[in-house]
């Protein structure tokens, strides 16, 4: 029960709400999954550390529990100078 309460209190997982009516933000590229499945977990601490010195922004489309497949973007990444090329898996 504590998990549900914590999630309800923090629906954006520590990020900012994205109020774009589910449209791809201008100036971003879509990132698609390779497989069909469900998002189990998003490590926001690790994601934040990866982007600490990176000017790009991440817009998460899929939340934990979301069903995903290769035709659905899981996130949008703003373009900018790439500091570290990392693979999202």
pLDDT at position 70 is 96
pLDDT of residue 51: 85
Of the listed ranges 4-13, 32-41, 42-51, the least confidently predicted one is 4-13
- For residue 79, the model assigns a pLDDT of 84
pLDDT at 37 over 90: yes
Mean pLDDT, residues 56-65 taken together = 88
Inform me whether the pLDDT recorded for 73 exceeds 80: yes
Distance (Å) of CA 42 to CA 27, 65, 70, 88: 23, 10, 18, 11
Could you give all domains of the chain from N- to C-terminal order, each with its CATH number? 2-78 (3.90.1170)
Name the residue with tokens 């693979």: 87
């Amino acid at each position: 029960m504590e998990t549900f309460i914590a999630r309800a209190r923090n629906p954006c997982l520590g990020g900012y709400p994205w109020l774009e009516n589910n449209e791809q933000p201008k100036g971003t590229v879509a990132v698609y999954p390779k497989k069909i499945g469900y998002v189990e977990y998003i490590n926001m601490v690790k994601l934040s550390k990866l982007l600490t010195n990176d000017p790009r922004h991440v817009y998460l489309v899929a939340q934990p529990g979301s069903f995903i497949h290769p035709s659905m973007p899981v996130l949008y990444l703003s373009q900018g100078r790439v500091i570290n090329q990392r693979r999202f898996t």
